[in-house]
Chain A
């Protein structure tokens, strides 16, 4: 009887070892030219302070930057995000909701929910209120189609001063602040500020 139990145990252990051995060995970031990270785990560790309740992580490629922006429950609503941009940006909501407003006259306005996707061309002013529907936890995944070098290295484990500065904005400062956008010929005037965003009910 004991022999049977021992054999069963050995069989189970062998099966477990085979299962582990069959799994591919995970290679690290940078191997084969590929950069890798778990964006959600990293974002949870990188709270932007001030204002708090807002989390951010990113990873650079040679010509792009991938980013995850997350607001905590009950804390995101009062945090409009307004980023001046010198490159194109794509974004998709994977959790929660964002009231998103954009355009020089604020023409585009929509509540983005899970699966909703936007593409923001360069130099287009945009802003948002996270957790719009119910002050819920909200996660937005974005890619910048140039490397966002101002964010600094992505391996520091800290939120870049550049980003902290961006979310700690001053009302009435112009969103299109980069030289690229300032030098646009016939650049339109911006007619709205964060104050013009609707307020949650």
Chain B
């Protein structure tokens, strides 16, 4: 009996020492120059407008963002963003009807794994949850820091973004930034949100 107790105590002691000796596996945001966040968790906490969730994180020269629409709510929320830098995006859940180009030449339903690269000043728009009004998640990276979004403090939704997703007027020119306005021979935008097909 004493031997058993001694053995258990020895094993417990060794286990404790092993745990103590092991360095912590996870370090925090910003350590070693790396920025980190749990984007899905944070996005769920940040409802920009009803049914539409958005979060982002800045790097020194880039901004990473997650756009999510809840099931049954996303279809009526076209996203129309004027851009001064390049953007990449990939659908990781659901579907997005994506339309882009000065004449709206590019039009495709994006599903999981479908990726796009949107050059600077290219007008683009989309309807989330296209296939069946399902929950949809699009992740994107802006290849410059999207400074207008302000701090990526998780408690705040920036007024800049709220304005973009909630104050869209049909017929307004999409390329609104100075850089795009000042492009030489800039083409005219010939379409608006009203030209996007409507879900059935």
Interface flags for A29-41 (1: CB within 8 Å of B; 0: not) read: 0011111111111
Cross-chain contact A33 with B100 (CB below 8 angstroms)? yes
- Chain B residue at minimum C-beta to C-beta distance from A63: B86
Cβ contacts under 8 Å, B23 to chain A: 109, 198
Cross-chain contact A94 with B92 (CB below 8 angstroms)? yes
Cross-chain contact A115 with B38 (CB below 8 angstroms)? yes
- Chain A residue at minimum C-beta to C-beta distance from B56: A117
From A4-12, A97-105, A174-182, the one touching the partner chain is A97-105
A120 at the interface (CB under 8 A from B): yes
Q: How far is the CB of A5 from chain B (nearest CB, A)?
A: 26
Interface flags for A114-150 (1: CB within 8 Å of B; 0: not) read: 1111111110101000000000000001010110000
**Of the residues B61, B64, B112, B124, contact of A34 by C-beta under 8 Å:** B124
Q: How far is the CB of B142 from chain A (nearest CB, A)?
A: 8
Cross-chain contact B116 with A36 (CB below 8 angstroms)? yes
Cβ contacts under 8 Å, B32 to chain A: 102-108, 124
Rounded to whole angstroms, the CA-CA distance of A32 and B59 in the bound complex is 29
Interface flags for B8-52 (1: CB within 8 Å of A; 0: not) read: 000000000000000111110001111111111100000000000
B88 at the interface (CB under 8 A from A): yes
Cross-chain contact A121 with B108 (CB below 8 angstroms)? no
With contacts A33-B119, A64-B86, A102-B33 taken as known, whether A145 is within 8 angstroms of B101 at the C-beta atoms is no
Cβ contacts under 8 Å, A184 to chain B: none
With contacts A34-B122, A62-B119 taken as known, whether A90 is within 8 angstroms of B39 at the C-beta atoms is no
Q: Is the interface of B mostly helix, strand, loop or mixed?
A: mixed
Cross-chain contact B117 with A60 (CB below 8 angstroms)? yes
Q: Which residues of B (57-78) have their CB < 8 Å from a CB of A?
A: 57-62, 64, 66
Cross-chain contact B109 with A24 (CB below 8 angstroms)? yes
Cβ contacts under 8 Å, A35 to chain B: 116-117
**Interface residues in B, total, Cβ within 8 A:** 58
A110 at the interface (CB under 8 A from B): yes
Cross-chain contact B107 with A24 (CB below 8 angstroms)? yes
Cross-chain contact B104 with A32 (CB below 8 angstroms)? yes
A25 at the interface (CB under 8 A from B): yes
Q: How far is the CB of B185 from chain A (nearest CB, A)?
A: 14
With contacts A60-B117, A103-B32 taken as known, whether A116 is within 8 angstroms of B38 at the C-beta atoms is yes
B180 at the interface (CB under 8 A from A): no
Q: Which residues of A (49-102) have their CB < 8 Å from a CB of B?
A: 59-64, 66, 68, 88, 90, 92, 94, 99, 102
In the complex, given contacts A107-B31, A118-B34, A122-B61, what are 12 additional A-B residue pairs having Cβ atoms less than 8 angstroms apart? A27-B105, A33-B118, A34-B122, A39-B114, A68-B115, A103-B32, A116-B37, A117-B57, A121-B33, A121-B34, A124-B33, A141-B139
Chain A interfacial positions (CB closer than 8 Å to B) = 19, 22-27, 31-41, 59-64, 66, 68, 88, 90, 92, 94, 99, 102-111, 114-122, 124, 126, 141, 143, 145-146, 198
Q: Name 16 A/B residue pairs within 8 A (Cβ), A-sorted.
A: A25-B107, A26-B108, A31-B105, A32-B106, A36-B108, A37-B115, A38-B113, A38-B114, A61-B88, A94-B92, A99-B25, A108-B34, A116-B36, A116-B39, A117-B64, A145-B143
Closest 7 CB pairs of A and B: A32-B101, A103-B32, A115-B40, A40-B113, A61-B117, A119-B59, A32-B105
